A and B are shown apart, each in its own frame.
Chain A
Amino acid sequence: MIAFLLRRSAQSLLVLLAMSVLVFVGVYLIGNPVDILISSQADQAERERAIAALGLDRPLWSQYAHFVGGALHGDLGRSFAHGVPALELILARMPATMELAFVAMLLAVGLGIPLGLWAGLKPDGFASRLIMTGSILGFSLPTFWVGLMLIMVFAVFLGWLPSNGRGETVQWLGVSWSVLTLDGWAHLILPAINLALFKLSLLIRLTRAGVREALVTDYVKFARAKGLSARRIVGVHVLKNIMIPIVTVIGLEFGSVVAFAVVTESVFAWPGMGKLLIDSINVLDRPVIVAYLMVIVLLFVLINLVVDLAYSALDPRVRLGAAGGTP
């Protein structure tokens, strides 16, 4: 177990290092930041002072070494545009994104599993066909356009819900939260539905496929032959067996929900770190872009690690050694 943990952690660190090089080199290929960051009216002396202050005069490898050294101390550089540490900026926006992602994931799981169960148990019913057609639509609808349509219907035509921002927030544990106020929920619900839609479709399809596969297995047939109630067969024999892939997917998809929040946050002007990323890309605020990506990569690496561990805990057939090796 400890050997497995160590090996997985070493792998994760390697991934983190590789990604940092890729991200750094990639982002530093953008045009000439000097032209963008320093006013064209500045004279030569001012320009040089600014270049030296931003560290742009040093060679790439030296900038990278400086960056990694800083990263190990939790310092990912200072935002060009805001003048504050990039990591601080990201972390300040993180709760808004996490709040949105959690509510979206809850919606997707809370609706997706029951609907998928229904569609799997009664595959030929009218409701099931409706659910499956809906899930194809959910896969096909581009997230940003759905967001626009939600705003159009609920904010503009019906005027029920606000179209942007976080609304009233409450300070708790030093962070502001929208989920703790009614106004916050009014602002949160549209973006959360928007973000949940794709994962909802995924979970419906996944659950349905799992149920249909489980229903024809010997253990379900045997449970039926024993005369167990339908409720017990579904609740224990079917659900328990399809939960393993579903829990894995929920874990892995959470990272993708955080990444896709970039789109939803831009549509609803939700002040999370995704919106910060897009704003930073538009003004070429490189330290913030790099810091965002490092935070996201770290998040993904952690999620993958946790899912791996959860998987081996849930499914006794999975040997830890095998989970860490080549797939």
Chain B
Amino acid sequence: MTAHSAHTIAGATPSFWREKAGEFLADWLAVGGLALLLIIVLAALAAPLIAPQNPYDLAQLDVLDARLPPGSAAGDGKTFLLGSDEQGRDLLSAILYGLRISLGVGALSTLIALGLGGVVGLWSAYRGGRWDAVIMRVVDLQLSFPAILIALVLLAALGQGIGKIIAALVTVQWAYYARTVRGTALAEKGKDYIAAAQGLALPTHRVLLGHLLPNCLPPLIVVASVQVAHAIALEATLSFLGLGLPITEPSLGLLIANGYQYLLSGKYWVSFFPGVALLLTIVSINLVADRLRDVLNPRLAR
């Protein structure tokens, strides 16, 4: 019981989160972004149920339906609302399935990077000294190079594949979390509740994860919300360049790349609509992230 009341003093309590949620919902633009994001995520999750066809089932594809403009009727009487690609695949279905991959890769890599960077940052701040200096040097060095460059080199070394692109995205992102958590943890570490937890002779991992971590969460959430959008955009870019996902797992970036060659002959829809889906996803996440930053930033609170 004492262990729990120790960290309620610092503020990361259920009532703190309830209050912040209220502040978040006061901004209609952010609420709109959140609603759009929920719709997109639901549509991606429900893709097998709501998509007009299964874009990977070759039996459902007809080459005679290839590259039809939006609104055309397919051979079997269905309508291609957003047109079809070079294999006669319904673009709307391809986009819905592509969203699953884009969102999945983005979310998974963000979660892993968050966990990894968070733990490293916490530990670095808690231990201090030489290890802290070494870790932060590595973080500084990595952050002085653009993410896309590091990801390109990694993928050049690792090759293609869904696991490899997640590994590359995690490597690119962990440093942001490590730096953010370390900054907050350094400030929190000197507070009384940490001293109290240490006084109870709790094991280090309990002090770190049970007491320090909950109070470092707000800035971590802000960074994660921005980074998830970056991860999705980066994956799309790498896939577009032909270095990300293999053709068997067509994310939005790969769909856009497929349409590139038809763009010059005026068949815009093959690239255009997957891009719109990507854009809506990233904008909705950014709107939410923008509001989260305002709500959770202690400097703007008072």
* Residues of A in contact with B (beta carbons under 8 Å apart): 15, 18, 23, 26-27, 29-31, 136-137, 139-145, 148-149, 151-152, 155-157, 163, 255-256, 259-260, 262-263, 266-267, 277-278, 281-282, 289, 293, 296-297, 300, 304, 326-327
Q: What 1/0 flags go to B150-192 for Cβ under 8 Å of A?
A: 0011111111000000000000000000000000000000000
For the complex, is B236 an interface residue (Cβ under 8 Å from A)? yes
Give the shortest distance, in Å, between B147 (CB) and chain A (any CB): 9
Interface 9-residue window, one of B76-84, B115-123, B258-266: B258-266
Residue numbers in B under 8 Å from A141 (CB-CB) = 279, 282
| A142 adjacent to B279 (CB under 8 Å) | yes
Cross-chain pair count, CB within 8 angstroms: 111
Q: Within the complex, which residue of A31, A149, A163 is in contact with B272, where a contact is CB–CB below 8 Å?
A: A149
Give the shortest distance, in Å, between B207 (CB) and chain A (any CB): 26
Residue numbers in A under 8 Å from B260 (CB-CB) = 148, 267
| A262 adjacent to B156 (CB under 8 Å) | no
The secondary-structure label for the interface of chain A is helix
Give the shortest distance, in Å, between A224 (CB) and chain B (any CB): 25
Also in contact, A152 and B268, with CB within 8 A (given A281-B152, A281-B243, A327-B140): yes
| B229 adjacent to A140 (CB under 8 Å) | yes
Q: Within the complex, which residue of A18, A139, A255, A289 is in contact with B146, where a contact is CB–CB below 8 Å?
A: A255
Chain B interface category by residue count: 35 or more
For the complex, is B275 an interface residue (Cβ under 8 Å from A)? yes
Q: Give Cα A18 to B145, complex, Å.
A: 14
For the complex, is B271 an interface residue (Cβ under 8 Å from A)? yes
Q: Within the complex, which residue of B148, B154, B279, B282 is in contact with A259, where a contact is CB–CB below 8 Å?
A: B148
Instruction: Specify the chain B residue showing the minimal Cβ separation from A277.
Output: B152
| A31 adjacent to B148 (CB under 8 Å) | no
Also in contact, A263 and B149, with CB within 8 A (given A26-B154, A152-B263, A163-B264): no
| A139 adjacent to B154 (CB under 8 Å) | no
Residue numbers in B under 8 Å from A142 (CB-CB) = 233, 236-237, 253, 275, 278-279, 282
Residue numbers in A under 8 Å from B38 (CB-CB) = none
For the complex, is B200 an interface residue (Cβ under 8 Å from A)? no
Residue numbers in A under 8 Å from B286 (CB-CB) = 136, 139-140
Q: Give Cα A263 to B244, complex, Å.
A: 13
Also in contact, A262 and B157, with CB within 8 A (given A140-B229, A142-B278): no
* Residues of B in contact with A (beta carbons under 8 Å apart): 133, 136, 140-141, 144-146, 148-149, 152-159, 229, 233, 236-237, 240-243, 253, 256, 259-260, 263-264, 266, 268, 271-272, 275, 278-279, 282-283, 286-287, 290
| A282 adjacent to B242 (CB under 8 Å) | yes
Residue numbers in B under 8 Å from A327 (CB-CB) = 140
| B157 adjacent to A278 (CB under 8 Å) | no
Q: Give Cα A169 to B125, complex, Å.
A: 55
| B156 adjacent to A289 (CB under 8 Å) | yes
Also in contact, A144 and B240, with CB within 8 A (given A136-B286, A152-B272, A157-B266): yes
Q: Give Cα A297 to B146, complex, Å.
A: 11
Give the shortest distance, in Å, between A132 (CB) and chain B (any CB): 10
Give the shortest distance, in Å, between A25 (CB) and chain B (any CB): 8
Q: Within the complex, which residue of B136, B237, B264, B272 is in contact with A144, where a contact is CB–CB below 8 Å?
A: B237
Residue numbers in A under 8 Å from B264 (CB-CB) = 151, 155-156, 163
Q: Give Cα A242 to B149, complex, Å.
A: 30
Give the shortest distance, in Å, between B279 (CB) and chain A (any CB): 6
Give the shortest distance, in Å, between A54 (CB) and chain B (any CB): 18
Also in contact, A149 and B275, with CB within 8 A (given A140-B282, A262-B148): yes
Q: Give Cα A326 to B149, complex, Å.
A: 25
